[in-house]
Amino acid sequence: MDHSTSAEQPAEPVPPDFPAFAVSRGRHLLRTAFLLTGGDAHLAEDLLQEALGRIFVKWRRISRLDNPSGYAQTVLVNTFLSYRRRRSSSERVTDTLPDIAVDGPDPTLRLTLLRALGELPAQDRAVLVLRFWEDRSVEETAAALRLSSTAVRSRSSRALARMRATLGESLGADGQAAGGDTGGRTTTDPTGRKAVLGRVL
């Protein structure tokens, strides 16, 4: 009996622009994952690989979107949140930070910020990273996390209050940067919260 018709078909070739996309956006995605994990470089790399795998499976559709990079960020954040849900029952509290490079302009602030991020609930951390590192609006953050805009504002204000308690005046030197979430896009002023998050990298 001829089984040639049931033979496994060769794998469909990868769209040529996916490797280029992965290379061009990989570093930024890794930095985002690093912030989401509170400075766990190894977990950040694992999350990035898993997110890229999910993106690859749907790349033909994703590549036709207006903003594939934004979609990739959403996939990464959701990968992080799903990982946190899976691991929540087996987490262990530790006072030991992972080994990370500290060649930035302010190593002390870097370590303190990573510790403060790591102490936040996973979804609050994701809100801060999207709002003040990715510079997304409240509405964009709400859509990415499948939350209401009110929930995003509430989580953002609560998380910022906890961060301020740890970082003090380092979080923002002027009233706008140190204040609550206003709901719009963040300032690009060097003293703003995005600049402080940027120091982690």
pTM of the model: 0.71
In angstroms, rounded to a whole number, what is the distance separating the alpha carbons of residues 186 and 176? 9
pLDDT tens by residue, 50-79: 999 999 999 999 999 999 999 999 999 999
In angstroms, rounded to a whole number, what is the distance separating the alpha carbons of residues 158 and 74? 22
Residue 192 has pLDDT above 70, yes or no: no
Say what angle helices 149-167 and 107-119 make with each other, to 10 degrees: 140
Mean pLDDT, to the nearest integer, of 90-107?
48
Q: Which residues contact 123 (CB under 8 A, 6 or more apart)?
A: 81, 145, 147, 155
pLDDT, residue 150, reads 96
